[in-house]
Amino acid sequence: MVTVVVVTWEGAHLLPPCLDSLREQRLPHRVIVVDNGSTDGTEALLADRYPEVRVVQTGANLGFAGGAQVGLAAADTSYVALLNNDAVADPGWLAALVRRLDDQPSAAAVTSRMLLQDTDPPLLNNTGVVLLDDDYGADRDLRAGADARPEAGPVFGFSGGAAVLRRQAVEQVGGFARRFFLYYEDTDLSWRLRLAGWEIWYEPAAVVHHAHSATVDQAGERFAYFNERNRLLMLTRCAGASRVARALLRFALTTASLTVSRLRRKPVPDVPVFDPWLRLRVLGGYARLLPWALRTRRRIRRAAKRRQGHG
């Protein structure tokens, strides 16, 4: 048996297509909706239209990271799937993910073929997550043709928007980092799983259609703050020391350069990620969580060294 976890916050307008698609799945499963303190009628909607769904009320907005961890803890099945509340799964989605995880005992997670909704011609949202040379995580194959990447295979990370996880493996490495709140929680978990010796796989037959950024504006300050802060936290927890130092130095120097340009009234791109004050907030948020990141880093790196010693 597999449990599908859907995390939602103020998403009553998004949930019906998502949950209706889960009703159409060919593989028997359970559904848990983690409601992060919604005030938009989500609770009544679920009680009225989806009585078969187990609802876990957090009472507060824990972000996707916190909500996913609550859902993982509430599930009692060996496999736990994640599906964004703004995604619609094809009927064979869950069966394809579970079949691949069954076939790959070294895999801790299997990620889906995510298509962008309402594009003509159809385009990919992602086929998993990759880590770029500049240490930013990215959607693999973003906006590639829908028929690209037809073969299953290993990938750096899974997308939290549509994947199945081996619960034992995820719990072994500490689960989702609740302090991330939004963004990079899936890449961070994928990296930790890989350091612990697990693989992440991509399954092209597991298809979902995703309304990209329906819940958070990726051009906004909120996205820029969590995206930048959590990238630095992920690197601090998982990467080698020299790599962490380079990333921090690059971020600090860029922030200093942008600050000087603003003070001298030189042109700076008018997007949040280039706003020096937002970047200073990122550094402040990172500094506040640095003691936690360093404590967890020691555990993560020790586990990786033990695995290498036995490898």
What is the model's pTM?
0.95
pLDDT for position 77: 98
Does 301 or 185 have the greater pLDDT score?
185
Query: The tokens 């990122």 sit on which residue?
Result: 282
Residue 216 clears pLDDT 90, i.e. is over it: no
Classify each residue of 231-250 as buried b or exposed e, where b means 16 or more C-beta atoms within 10 Å of its C-beta.
bbbbbbbbbeeeebeebeee
pLDDT in tens, 69-104: 999 999 999 999 999 999 999 999 999 999 999 999
Per residue in 231-248, pLDDT (tens digit) is 999 999 999 999 999 999
| Out of 7-11, 188-192, 304-308, least confident range | 304-308
The yes-or-no verdict on residue 215 having pLDDT over 90 is: no
pLDDT score of 25 more than 80: yes
CB-CB contact of 159 with 139 (8 Å): yes
The token pair at 93 is 């989605």
Q: What is the average per-residue pLDDT within 32-49?
A: 98
